Amino acid sequence: MNSNQLKTHKAFINPRQLQELLTQGSVQVLYTVVDFPVNYVSKQTENCYLPNSILFDFDNVFVDKNTGLPHSLPSPTLFAKEMSNLGISNDTTLVIYDDQGSFSAPRVWWMLKTMGHQNVLVLDGGLQAWIDNGFEVESELVKNTEKSQYKVKFTPELLVDKNQILENLHNPNCVVIDARSAARFNGTEAEPRKGVRSGHIPASQNLHYAQLLNDGKFIDTAAIEQLFKPFVASHNSVDPQLRFSCGSGVTACILALAAYQIGIENWAVYDGSWSEWGADPTCPIE
């Protein structure tokens, strides 16, 4: 992958850049968190948040509860309703962060991108990076009392489902990249969710999300490019279709955010991920 051939996008913001935006009053920060079955815990022992943070709850609010899968992407109608309830307008610049480095915030970034929100960034390193830079925190989240009229501009090309993955199993220009650990990918470690088989989608490749992070922060752009190079350079297509999967659609978004940052444009997230595929006995596995 030649970095000169890629148009990079801005996906991250560091704490000092965010502090400058906050002093200008031109940004809304959204805090997110996920109840995750794989061990990954916050370094914080007390509740603390960036000033004026609003909770973006994709486990219980921004979720389709009818799929039987964890935190499925909601319908555009529900998404618009809940964004309006938060008082967020379409032209608001949003910065997403979590208390686990850069772990669940990329999921919210992807959700917002899929729903057409233009100005959205992830705080690189999350809450801990903010604290490490000496910036103030608050003990409570805030709730907006005024509603907005949020409108969704759905971007379906950033999302793929099980049937689309099945249809492209033998498509050499479609590359499924699994963000789970090598042990889970290879089936040598049991899945944390009951009823889910071990293994991976046939012909898929493995890139553990942790390789993209260093102490909760994303590695530099050149290093990200090197990690993605095998998936792009080994295919005949000039613009291979990258499809990101993981356990439940959270850490796949870490890969999506990194791909976006280095200018890869033909990518999508498999929302159901292994929670759906591994639980369906009709889906082939390796």
| Residues noted as catalytic | 246
Round to whole Å and give the CA distance between 7 and 3: 8
Round to whole Å and give the CA distance between 33 and 13: 19
- The answer to whether 116 and 89 have CB atoms below 8 angstroms apart is no
Q: Name residues whose C-beta falls within 8 Å of residue 284's C-beta, 6 or more positions apart in sequence.
A: 169, 201, 202
C-alpha 234: how far from chain center: 25
User: b vs e for 163-201, b when ≥16 Cβ sit within 10 Å of the residue's Cβ?
Assistant: eebeebeeeeebbbbbbbbeebbeeeeebebeebebbbb
CB atoms within 10 A of CB 221: 16
Q: Considering only CA atoms, give the Rg of the chain.
A: 18
Q: Is residue 224 classed as helix, strand or coil in its secondary structure?
A: helix
